[in-house]
Amino acid sequence: MNTPLHLDLLNDEERFSSSPIRMRVMLPLTTSFVTLCLLLWWSLLCLRTHSQAQYKEALQQAITSLTPAHSAVLALRAQEQEYRSIVRQLGLYKNARNPYGKMLSNLAEHVTPTIQLTQLSVPPPQPPAADPANPLFGPTNTFEAVTLHLSGRTGGEHPSEAVNTLLATFRTPAFTNVFRTAVIPKGSFRQDVARDPESREILLFDITCDCVPRRFE
């Protein structure tokens, strides 16, 4: 009976795997390498954070040194805006200025001897509509209507013709730069009943002219 005898004379630590990669060497090597990489990454991050902090400090210093000049320019800008707004507000007023002197002077030349004007009026403007919640914000309307009322007397052979001629004059280019419309209100052409009987042939009349509105624009 030949029984094969197998003798294993190797110690445990002397055993080798058939694999070319030895786990007991590779495992600590790999983990140590990864740890070293992480350490290196952390160091790089620290370095970059430090340089970033220095860059930030430099920026802060530059901002601090530039602040007075910057504030001065901002103040200039605010001042310019304020001047611009004042000029605009006064401009709104200036644009809404309609001269009447020349028209009033011309008017006398067109009144015939048979007409006597007794009253000429331009009523003062109505108080402008303002936002009651914010009265400081000024009026909300941008234009203001202007009306001129004329009252007079006329006599002679054809009193109505003289008034109609005057009315027609108000529709000529000499007046249309000031008047938009000119009408004799209904019922305003009437006899002068208040005076003595001799004056009953005299007619009273009114003319209402809508002037070019004042535009605060």
Partner 1 sequence: MTLASPIMKWLAPSMIRSVVISVAALVIGLLILFLGALPERTALRVAGDEAHTLDVRLSQMRATVATAEHQKQACDKLMAERDALVTSGVIEPLLGSFSMRGKNLLDPIARQTGFHIDGVRELQPIPLQLPKPAPEQLHYRQPVEFTGQGSYTQITAFITQVEASQPLVALSGLLILSQPQTPETHKAVITFEWPAKGEKIKTDKLPKK
Site for partner 1 in 65-104 (CB under 8 A): 66-67, 69-70, 72-74, 76-77, 79-94, 96-102, 104
Residue with Cβ nearer partner 1 (1 or 69): 69
Task: Provide, rounded to whole angstroms, the least separation between the CB of residue 22 and partner 1.
Answer: 9
Task: Provide, rounded to whole angstroms, the least separation between the CB of residue 14 and partner 1.
Answer: 9
Q: How far apart are CA 144 and CA 129, in angstroms?
A: 10
Residue with Cβ nearer partner 1 (4 or 127): 127
User: Is the separation of the CB atoms in 114 and 159 below 8 Å?
Assistant: yes
Q: How far apart are CA 27 and CA 117, in angstroms?
A: 120
C-alpha triplet 159, 165, 169: angle, nearest 5°? 150
Residue with Cβ nearer partner 1 (74 or 186): 74
Task: Provide, rounded to whole angstroms, the least separation between the CB of residue 191 and partner 1.
Answer: 18
Residue with Cβ nearer partner 1 (46 or 183): 46
Query: Residue 199, interface with partner 1 (CB under 8 A)?
Result: no
**By CB under 8 A, which span of 1-9, 36-44, 166-174, 181-189 interacts with partner 1?**
36-44
**By CB under 8 A, which span of 52-60, 164-172, 175-183, 184-192 interacts with partner 1?**
52-60
Query: Residue 105, interface with partner 1 (CB under 8 A)?
Result: yes
Residue 213: which of 94, 107, 96, 92 has the closest Cα? 96
Residue with Cβ nearer partner 1 (24 or 186): 24
Count Cβ atoms below 10 Å from residue 183 Cβ, excluding itself: 13
Residue with Cβ nearer partner 1 (102 or 180): 102
Q: How far apart are CA 174 and CA 103, in angstroms?
A: 8
Task: Provide, rounded to whole angstroms, the least separation between the CB of residue 121 and partner 1.
Answer: 5
> Please, which of residues 136-195 interact with partner 1 by CB under 8 A?
136-139, 142, 148
Rg (CA), the chain: 51
Count Cβ atoms below 10 Å from residue 154 Cβ, excluding itself: 24
Count Cβ atoms below 10 Å from residue 208 Cβ, excluding itself: 14
Return the residue of 1, 7, 25, 133 that touches partner 1, per CB under 8 A.
25
Amino acid (one-letter) located at 155: G
CA 88 to mean position of chain CA atoms: 11
**By CB under 8 A, which span of 22-30, 155-163, 171-179, 183-191 interacts with partner 1?**
22-30
Q: How far apart are CA 129 and CA 138, in angstroms?
A: 8
Those residues whose C-beta lies under 8 Å from the C-beta of residue 26, and which sit 6 or more positions away, are: none
